[in-house]
Structure 1
């Protein structure tokens, strides 16, 4: 009988130990489940505040006289989404092939619901000839031009003078979008 009590005490002790191990193990598993759970959200955000459509416009000009101009009406649409957007048209380095002399300027007209905005771009190109331009800062050319949200039809006029020689000139004109965040 004593032997049986000792055996029961040993079984009870082992059972108690097994219950304690099971409870500690369950607690450890629940802690592991809490610390191991996570969400990994990968977001690539590309929300345009403004866009030009089409984004590339080729304007072929056949210059066969010293002076002239070409008007291209509604060659693109500029869409402005949200407040605080300004635009600036910029000329990049021209690619000149041949022996050419030329002065060129441009006028860009943005026609929207609230009327039209004209951006004068004097002296966008001067090859082998000097060009004199006003020393004023021109919004949309030298500085950003704020625009209200909406859709604008884009027209461009290219005027040239002092053209001579023979060759080809490629002049890229880009548009920069400047987003000014407003503080609350």
Structure 2
């Protein structure tokens, strides 16, 4: 169930100058998905995903999108991005974003850039997959999405720095955004120069 305060934060984030890119999946059996973001406002609902593990959510998304793709109905759903709203989301207006990259592709990108192999941040690795996970204010989700999209290893590392993670494991999104905009210096890259 989405509480009014969280729903209000969700609606406030989506302004005309920032398009809605979240497609809300309410239950595992849901058959119809919006082609581009869920229309706001969102009515309260009970989810069929309560207590699902990260692995279960990722597998569900991959299988469901594969099934929908066979019929050309996947819309905006992507198997390598998952956004999760949970009980903590209701309390502090946060969202958990999961991003997937092939381990072999990640390793190749680092090798091509002549960087040592490293998987920064909160990540699960299995077989040929890396899944990163960030809890951040919903108002900053688009910054992480735009920065990390397409597996930019510099951005993944920036958003994954442990010093930007505060209480309740919430990323202080303002710091990496200010670094990206050039408003504050990046102490790590300054040391490397």
The alignment's TM-score, normalised by the length of structure 1, stands at 0.22
Higher helix proportion: 2
Higher strand proportion: 1
The alignment's TM-score, normalised by the length of structure 2, stands at 0.21
